[in-house]
C-alpha cells in the first residue's frame, strides 16, 4: 500500500525508521525490538540507506522482509550518492520487482572519509532531481526530507525553503523532518512553507535524548538546537542513567502531545533500532484519539 493511500484512512499517522543490522548479534537485537514495535501497529516504516549505498543490499532485503513477510507498508530510503541514472533505474526496477511502493528520496551524505558531496557521473546533485527522475519513469509514492532549522549546507533559511519547494514541485508527495526538539520552530517552519505554496504533509521526525552525551551528536546530525531547559536537566542527571532516561522520555512525550494537539499530521520516530523509548512514548499517547482510522465510504 502506498503511504498516500494510508493518508486517506488516517488523518494522523505514526511510523518508525530502522536501519539494517550490521552483523548477526545486532540482527538478534533488531528482531526482538522490531517485534515489540510492530505490536504498536504503526502506519508504515522506513529503512535507511548507508552512505554511498554501502548497505544497499541489506536495505533492499530488509524492506522486502518487512513488507512481504510481516505485511507492513515500508519505504526504502534511496540517495544520489554514487548513483548514475542507469544505476538508479536498475535499482528502481529491482524494488518494483519485490513489490515496494514507497521511497524516501534523498541527496544523501558524503561517504565515510569524504567531507563534500560529489556528483556521480551521469548522476544527480540534488534530491529534487532524483525525485523528478523517479516520478517520470516509475510509479512509487515519493517522500522527501526537510530540516526545521535549515540544512547545515544551506545559505539561509529562505534558500532552504526554496530548495524544499523544488522537491515538492518535482514530485515529492509527503515530507518528513529531520529530528528536532523545539516545537515552536516546527510550527513556524510549516507556516513559512505554506506561505510560499508548499501544501504537503509535514510529518515531524522525533527522537528522545535520553543521555547528556547524546546532545552534541544529535545537534551535529540534524542542525537542530536543544532547548536550554532540556540540556540543563540532562546535564544535572548525566551520571544517573535511569533519571536521564526519564527526563528525555518525559520531554519527548510532551513534545509529541503538543505537536499532535496543534495540528501536526503524525509522528515519525527515529528508533535507532531500539524499542524501549518508542514503546514507552507511544503507550503514553492516546492512540485511539490521535491515530484512529477513518471510516472509508
**Euclidean distance between CA atoms 182 and 9, whole angstroms:** 29
Contact 136, 105 (CB under 8 A): no
Tell me which of 17, 129, 149, 173 is the catalytic residue.
Answer: 17
Contact 41, 14 (CB under 8 A): no
Compute and round to an integer the Cα radius of gyration of the chain: 19
Q: Which residues contact 278 (CB under 8 A, 6 or more apart)?
A: 16, 37, 40, 269, 271
Q: Which residues contact 70 (CB under 8 A, 6 or more apart)?
A: 38
Q: Which residues contact 67 (CB under 8 A, 6 or more apart)?
A: 73, 74, 98, 99, 100
**Beta-carbon-side half-sphere exposure of residue 252 (alpha carbons within 13 Å):** 30
Closest CA to 264 of 210, 193, 183: 183
Q: Is 255 exposed, middle or buried (0-12, 13-18, 19+ CB in 10 A)?
A: buried
Q: Rounding to the nearest 10 degrees, give the CA dihedral for residues 122, 128, 130, 134.
A: -140
Query: Could you confirm whether 17 is annotated as catalytic?
Result: yes
Contact 176, 268 (CB under 8 A): yes
Contact 95, 133 (CB under 8 A): no
**Euclidean distance between CA atoms 81 and 108, whole angstroms:** 6
Catalytic residues: 17
Amino acid at each position: 500500500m502506498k503511504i498516500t493511500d494510508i493518508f486517506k484512512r488516517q488523518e494522523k499517522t505514526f511510523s518508525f525508521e530502522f536501519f539494517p543490522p550490521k552483523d548477526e548479534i545486532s540482527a538478534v537485537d533488531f528482531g526482538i525490538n522490531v517485534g515489540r514495535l510492530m505490536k504498536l501497529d504503526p502506519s508504515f516504516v522506513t529503512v535507511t540507506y548507508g552512505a554511498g549505498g554501502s548497505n544497499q543490499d541489506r536495505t533492499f532485503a530488509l524492506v522486502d522482509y518487512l513488507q512481504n513477510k510481516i505485511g507492513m507498508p515500508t519505504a526504502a530510503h534511496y540517495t544520489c550518492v554514487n548513483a548514475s541514472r542507469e544505476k538508479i533505474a536498475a535499482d528502481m526496477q529491482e524494488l518494483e520487482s519485490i513489490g515496494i511502493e514507497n521511497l524516501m528520496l534523498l541527496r544523501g551524505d558524503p561517504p565515510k572519509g569524504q567531507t563534500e558531496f560529489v556528483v556521480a557521473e551521469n548522476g544527480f546533485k540534488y534530491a529534487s532531481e532524483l525525485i523528478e527522475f523517479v516520478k517520470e519513469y516509475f510509479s512509487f509514492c515519493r517522500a522527501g526530507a526537510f530540516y526545521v532549522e535549515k540544512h547545515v549546507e544551506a545559505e539561509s533559511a529562505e534558500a532552504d525553503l526554496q530548495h524544499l519547494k523544488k522537491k515538492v514541485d518535482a514530485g515529492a508527495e509527503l515530507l518528513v523532518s529531520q529530528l528536532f526538539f523545539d516545537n515552536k520552530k516546527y510550527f513556524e517552519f510549516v507556516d513559512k512553507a505554506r506561505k510560499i505554496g508548499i501544501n504537503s504533509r509535514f510529518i515531524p521526525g522525533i527522537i528522545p535524548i535520553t543521555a547528556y552525551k547524546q546532545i552534541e551528536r544529535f545537534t551535529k546530525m540534524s542542525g537542530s538546537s536543544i532547548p536550554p531547559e532540556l540540556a540543563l536537566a540532562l546535564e544535572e542527571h548525566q551520571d544517573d542513567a535511569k533519571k536521564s532516561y526519564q527526563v528525555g522520555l518525559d520531554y519527548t512525550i510532551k513534545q509529541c502531545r503538543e505537536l499532535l494537539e496543534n495540528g501536526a499530521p503524525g509522528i515519525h520516530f527515529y528508533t535507532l533500532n531500539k524499542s524501549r523509548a518508542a514503546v514507552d512514548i507511544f503507550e503514553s499517547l492516546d492512540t485511539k484519539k490521535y491515530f484512529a482510522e477513518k471510516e472509508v465510504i
